[in-house]
């Protein structure tokens, strides 16, 4: 293996980030100081947190509390390899999903004298560059610093090695998954024929839901502590699963079982080598595999006269709406948009049912209902509005060269984001109403409120999506400039609060939300009417802005 080739390939992958960072590409000069800022920051943060925890640990006077603290820290050290494994899997697989639409992101340059071993190792390491590596550095520096206070330096050293090995293990698994999914999905498409589009859509959806549920379970507050304890004890029970051998090695070391430590460590090393060998073999066999063509339609071509025409859309506008629908159901990198509403229903429901380690609530609250009815549609419309222009990518030249007016562009894109979000709201609304069983008045008011949010926030985010459109596609589609997305998400949040405030006031005056003073009651329908007026004003003002942005966008087509 030529290690220099591996480093060169990794560096190519790191450099692909230049395109999405949007730096000046002409007369480009690498500014290395910024390149390592993420890792340096993570290291400093880890040391600071470690120092803070250490000082706190030393200052604790109560020996019982100290023992408890000691035990907690040991649990953390033990569970870290498995936790890092899971998190690295989530990070690296999410990275792969985002790159799904870009074939050229890290294609093996097969015409160059590079072996598949070198390519596989580079690809495996490249998965870890960025956030996963920063996360590992943060944890390692924390462990190293904190272990000085705990006087557990040998355990910490082993834990850091285990962390690095876990991350590599996760990344190798992702590499295997990446190659396999290309091959397996290809085979599924071949056998499923016309249904391939829906097989892909539903398959990707299920996969993403599973991953986001794991992700939210790991990152949702108190449940992390439950998970740490659970992982620490569970990995002893499932010691025969190779993925927990690193954690088992740490546990053995902590209990002074040197022979077991050596056995588990060597077994882990062997497992990593076997996985890497499998990844190399799969890459050799399928690395240049071209998935078979998906045949969507066969037989005679019959132009469709859709019902969109009857709704007042021109053929051009209807064509764009139909095209966008196909984009969001066929492009894997866009499918994650469907996950958000599902996750936003799943998470509160999981919490409500006690699946996240919290006590089961006796009665579903009004807040749960309001959340399920309002949040998914509103979040969906903001996300769609921001990305709906940028998702065109390099194909946007067709918009610039075709006779589309600014008004038509805004109309069809606005129609798409609002229709889609309304469907989401209706589906979520049915689930919310079935779970929370509210009164008819409340249900209708919340549904109207949700529609108002969708129509108002839709045009705000669309205006921003036009202004901040980013057509960068490599190494992953960016769709909207991060600063625009950030600023307008905050603006949407403020406007959503403004629109919702009359209903909030109604909830306060009706004492659904307890406050110390008594206020005159505001009727539900009066509150909804005031909301509607605010939403109308927002929609009108931002529609004008969106139109102006669209006019400028079509004139400045210098891509």
Tell me if 9 sits within 8 A of 122, measured CB to CB.
Answer: yes
Site string for other proteins, 22-61 (x = CB under 8 A): ----x-----------------------------------
Of 91-99, 288-296, 357-365, 493-501: span binding other proteins (CB under 8 A) = 288-296
Contact 389, 413 (CB under 8 A): yes
Give the single-character DSSP code of 479.
E
Q: Extract the tokens encoding 265.
A: 């460590």
Instruction: Report whether 46 contacts 58 (CB < 8 A).
Output: no
For 470, phi then psi, to 5°, come to -130, 120
Q: How many CB atoms lie within 10 A of CB 258?
A: 10
Of the candidates 164, 205, 316, 498, which one interacts with other proteins according to CB under 8 A? 316
Measured distance CA(483)–CA(14) in Å, rounded: 22
Residue from 298, 307, 360, 514 in contact with other proteins (CB under 8 A):
298
CA–CA separation, 494 vs 455, rounded Å? 15
Scan for tokens 């949007």, then name that residue.
Answer: 22
- 25 burial via Cβ count (<10 Å: 0-12, 13-18, 19+): exposed
CB 323 within 8 A of CB 221: no
Tokens of 339: 């996950």
Interaction between residue 107 and other proteins (CB under 8 A): no
- Residues 6+ away with beta carbon under 8 Å from 503: 445, 449, 524, 527, 528, 531
Task: Name which position in 58, 315, 353, 529 contacts other proteins (CB under 8 A).
Answer: 315
For the bound state, the minimum distance from the C-beta of residue 387 to other proteins, rounded and expressed in Å, comes to 15
We find the least distance from the C-beta atom of residue 474 to other proteins, in angstroms, to be 12
Write the CB contacts of 255 (distance below 8 Å, at least 6 apart in sequence).
none
- Per CB under 8 A, 322 contacts other proteins: yes
Torsion of CA 411, 489, 483, 12, to 10 degrees: -90
Question: Which x/- pattern over 384-413 shows residues binding other proteins (rule: CB under 8 A)?
Answer: ---------xxx-xx-xxxxxx--------
Residue 337 DSSP one-character state: G
**Taking contact as CB under 8 A, which single stretch among the options 301-309, 376-384, 415-423, 440-448 is the one that binds other proteins?**
301-309
Q: Under the criterion CB under 8 A, does residue 518 sit at the interface with other proteins?
A: no
Interaction of residue 323 with other proteins, rule CB under 8 A: yes
User: Using CB under 8 A, which of 153, 493, 513, 555 touches other proteins?
Assistant: 555
Q: In the window 119-158, what residues touch other proteins (CB under 8 A)?
A: none
Least CB distance to other proteins at residue 302 (A): 7
Query: Hey, which residues between 344 and 383 contact other proteins (CB under 8 A)?
Result: none
Query: From residue 197 to residue 236, what is the string marking binding to other proteins with x (rule CB under 8 A)?
Result: ----------------------------------------
Q: Which is nearer to other proteins, 359 or 403 (CB)?
A: 403
Question: To the nearest whole angstrom, how small is the minimum distance from the Cβ of residue 201 to other proteins?
Answer: 11
Q: Does residue 310 touch other proteins according to CB under 8 A?
A: no
Instruction: Tell me whether residue 449 or residue 473 sits nearer to other proteins (CB atom).
Output: 473
Task: Please count the residues of this chain forming the interface with other proteins, following the rule CB under 8 A.
Answer: 43
Distance (Å, whole) CA 447 – CA 424 = 11
Q: HSE-up of 165 (CA within 13 Å, CB side)?
A: 28
Minimum CB separation of residue 540 from other proteins in Å reads 25
Binding site for other proteins (CB under 8 A): 26, 290-298, 301-305, 314-316, 318-320, 322-323, 326-327, 330-331, 393-395, 397-398, 400-405, 554-558
């Amino acid at each position: 293996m030529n290690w220099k080739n591996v480093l060169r390939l990794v560096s190519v992958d790191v450099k692909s980030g230049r395109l999405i960072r949007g730096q000046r590409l002409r007369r480009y000069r690498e500014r290395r100081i910024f390149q390592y800022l993420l890792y340096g920051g993570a290291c400093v943060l880890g040391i600071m947190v470690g120092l803070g925890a250490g000082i706190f640990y030393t200052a604790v006077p109560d020996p019982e509390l100290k023992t408890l603290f000691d035990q907690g820290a040991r649990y953390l050290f033990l569970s870290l390899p498995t936790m890092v494994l899971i998190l690295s899997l989530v990070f690296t697989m999410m990275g792969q999903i985002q790159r799904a639409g870009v074939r050229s992101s890290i294609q093996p340059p097969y015409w160059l004298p590079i072996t598949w071993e070198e390519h596989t190792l580079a690809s495996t390491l490249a998965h870890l560059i960025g956030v996963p590596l920063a996360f590992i550095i943060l944890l390692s520096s924390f462990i190293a610093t904190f272990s000085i206070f705990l006087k557990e330096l040998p355990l910490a050293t082993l834990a850091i090695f285990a962390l690095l090995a876990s991350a590599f293990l996760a990344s190798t698994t992702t590499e295997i998954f990446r190659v396999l999914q290309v091959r397996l999905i290809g085979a599924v498409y071949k056998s499923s024929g016309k249904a391939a589009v829906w097989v892909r859509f539903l398959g990707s959806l299920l996969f993403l839901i599973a991953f986001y549920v794991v992700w939210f379970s790991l990152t949702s507050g108190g449940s992390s502590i439950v998970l740490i304890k659970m992982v620490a004890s569970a990995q002893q029970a499932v010691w025969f699963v190779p993925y927990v051998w690193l954690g088992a090695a740490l546990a053995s070391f902590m209990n002074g079982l040197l022979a077991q430590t050596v056995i588990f460590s060597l077994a882990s090393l062997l497992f990593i080598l076997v996985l890497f060998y499998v990844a190399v073999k799969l890459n050799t066999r399928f690395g240049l595999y071209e998935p078979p063509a998906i045949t969507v339609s066969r037989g005679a071509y019959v132009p469709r006269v859709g019902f969109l025409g009857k709704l007042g859309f021109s053929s051009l506008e209807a064509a764009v709406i139909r095209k966008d629908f196909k984009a969001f159901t066929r492009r894997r990198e866009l499918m994650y948009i469907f996950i958000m509403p599902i996750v936003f229903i799943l998470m509160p429901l999981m919490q409500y049912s006690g699946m996240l380690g919290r006590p089961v609530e006796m009665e579903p609250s009004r807040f749960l209902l309001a959340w399920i009815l309002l949040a998914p549609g509103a979040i969906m419309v903001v996300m769609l509005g921001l990305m709906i222009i940028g998702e065109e990518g390099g194909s946007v030249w067709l918009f610039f060269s075709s006779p589309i007016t600014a008004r038509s562009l805004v109309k069809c894109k606005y129609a798409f984001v609002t229709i889609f979000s309304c469907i989401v709201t209706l589906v979520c609304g049915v689930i919310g109403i079935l779970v929370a069983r509210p009164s008819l008045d409340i249900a209708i008011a919340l549904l109207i409120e949700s529609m108002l949010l969708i129509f108002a926030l839709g045009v705000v985010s669309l205006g921003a999506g036009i202004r901040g459109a980013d057509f960068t596609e490599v190494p992953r589609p960016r769709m909207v400039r991060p600063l625009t997305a950030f600023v307008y998400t905050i603006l949407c949040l403020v406007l959503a609060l403004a629109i919702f405030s009359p209903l909030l006031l109604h909830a306060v005056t009706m004492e659904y939300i307890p406050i110390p003073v008594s206020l005159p009651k505001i009727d539900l329908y009066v509150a909804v009417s005031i909301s509607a007026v605010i939403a109308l004003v927002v929609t009108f003002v931002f529609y004008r802005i969106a139109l102006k942005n669209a006019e400028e966008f079509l004139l400045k087509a210098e891509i």
